[in-house]
Amino acid sequence: MKNLFAGLAGLIFGLGLIVGQMVNPAKVLGFLDVAGMWDPSLALVMGGALAVASVGFYLLRGCAQSLLGLSIQLPSKIAVDRPLVIGSLLFGAGWGLAGICPGPAIVLAGAGVSSGLIFVTAMLAGMATYDWLLRA
Amino acid sequence: MIAEEEVVMDGAHFTPFAALIGGLLIGTASVVLLWFNGRIAGISGIVGGLVRPRTGEVGWRVAFLLGLMLAPWLYGVFHPLPEIQVQASTGLLIVAGLLVGFGTRYGSGCTSGHGVCGLSRFSLRSLVATLCFMLVGAVTVFMVRHVLGGVA
């Protein structure tokens, strides 16, 4: 049952990325290109997502268990530390170079787009490098 | 004449309604995963958790990712997929992928985990992370397009 809902969530998430055109790297770069012809679409994608998700998180406050009886696992770290900042800066550089972040990368790979497959392979290598170097 | 500092909106490509509906769907997906599975819909974390998998942590992650990969096929049944324009060369895609993979794991999240879920629960860490990757993303595009003149 939990895999069914996880799969459904992934499917809806992917449809959202496609409808919002976030799977088009040129569209994402158009948002990041503030000094050129700026396309604010991505801000509205985030705005729409935040509008729904913030209500979802608010309604769930104080709950220890999910509707399927699973424990609710929220990030426990609170401090803004060096890894958070450096990691996010590196991510931003990669995002700006290709216009692809992890969600759209998986969708593009699923669609069989060759650049998506190349990107996901490199992304997995980057993640494995992190695990190998830094994860306890 | 347009002043240099003025932000010029790309009216031809701005798609407010599609963007908003896409965003509502992404928010809904995050709520489904949170309410039913009790987990944060952060794609880099979901993928990253499969690199060195732990018991009981594989099935739901694989199911979520299969859903993501199935989305273009389901969408394609009803409507042609939107245009996919990749300007980056293979070499650049590899460098970008490595940076995104390493950076999102080191920084504990990406656009979905920090940018949507984290901001939705008013996490200061996620706000800082989102500002960092948005800023560097914009600076990187500025460098590539307006300083280096699109050589990449």
Burial B7-32 (b: 16+ CB within 10 A, else e): eeebeebbbeebbbbbbbbbbbbbbb
Task: Output the pLDDT for position B150.
Answer: 59
Query: Residue A36 and residue A28: Cα distance in Å, rounded?
Result: 13
CA distance A77 to chain B (A): 8
Does the pLDDT value for residue A114 go beyond 70? yes
**B86 pLDDT tier (thresholds 50, 70, 90):** very high
Collapsing DSSP states into helix, strand and coil, what is residue A61? coil
> What's residue B13's pLDDT?
80
Determine the distance in angstroms separating the CA of B74 from the nearest CA of chain A, rounded to an integer. Answer: 8
CB < 8 Å to B35, chain A: 56, 60, 66-67
Residue-wise pLDDT for A46-66, tens only, equals 999 999 999 999 999 888 899
Contact A19 B21 (CB under 8 A): yes
Q: Given pLDDT bands bounded at 50, 70 and 90, which one contains residue A32? A: very high
Amino acid B146 reads: H
Contacts of A32 in chain B (CB under 8 A): 134, 137-138, 140-141
- Chain A environment of B105 (Cβ under 8 Å): 87, 126-127, 130-131, 135
- Alpha-carbon gap, residue B49 to B109, rounded angstroms: 12
The dihedral of CA B64, B32, B44, B69: what is its sign? positive
Instruction: Give the tokens for residue A40.
Output: 């604010």
d(C-alpha A94, C-alpha A114), whole Å:
18
Q: Is the dihedral of CA B46, B50, B51, B52 positive or negative?
A: positive
pLDDT of residue B44: 97
Residues A41 and B33: their CA atoms lie apart, in Å, by 25
Q: Cβ contacts (< 8 Å) between A90 and chain B: which residues?
A: 99, 102-103, 106-107
User: Is 0.90 topped by the overall pTM?
Assistant: yes
pLDDT (0 to 100) of residue B58? 96
Mean pLDDT confidence for B50-54: 92
Predicted ipTM beyond 0.85: yes
Query: Residue A136 burial (CB < 10 Å; 0-12/13-18/19+)?
Result: exposed
Predicted pLDDT of residue B14: 86
> Given an 8 Å threshold on Cβ–Cβ distance, is B24 in contact with A49?
yes
Of A14, A82, A90, A33, the closest CA to residue B97 belongs to A90
Closest CA to A85 of B112, B33, B135, B23: B135
Model confidence band, residue B152 (pLDDT cutoffs 50, 70, 90): very low
- Would you say residue B151 has pLDDT above 60? no
Please answer yes or no on whether A50 and B111 come within 8 Å at the CB atom: no
Q: Assess whether pLDDT exceeds 60 at residue B105.
A: yes
Residue A93 identity (one-letter amino acid): A
B5 vs B104: which has the higher pLDDT: B104
Residue B2's pLDDT band, with cuts at 50, 70 and 90, is very low
**Mean pLDDT along residues B4-29:** 86
Based on C-alpha coordinates, what's the Rg of chain B? 18
Q: What are the domain boundaries of chain B?
A: 16-147
Q: Which residue of A has its CA nearest to B83?
A: A24
The answer on pLDDT for B137 being more than 70 is: yes
Question: Is B9 within 8 Å of A37 when comparing Cβ atoms?
Answer: yes
Determine, for residues A101 and B95 on separate chains, whether the beta-carbon distance falls below 8 Å. Answer: no
Mean pLDDT of B41-51: 96
Q: Is the pLDDT of residue B38 over 80?
A: yes
Strand partners, A71: A65
Given this model, what pLDDT does residue B36 score?
97
**Confidence at residue B3, expressed as pLDDT on a 0 to 100 scale:** 47
Identify the band that residue A135 occupies on the pLDDT scale cut at 50, 70 and 90: confident
Percent of chain B exceeding pLDDT 90 equals 79
Task: Write down the mean pLDDT value for chain A.
Answer: 95
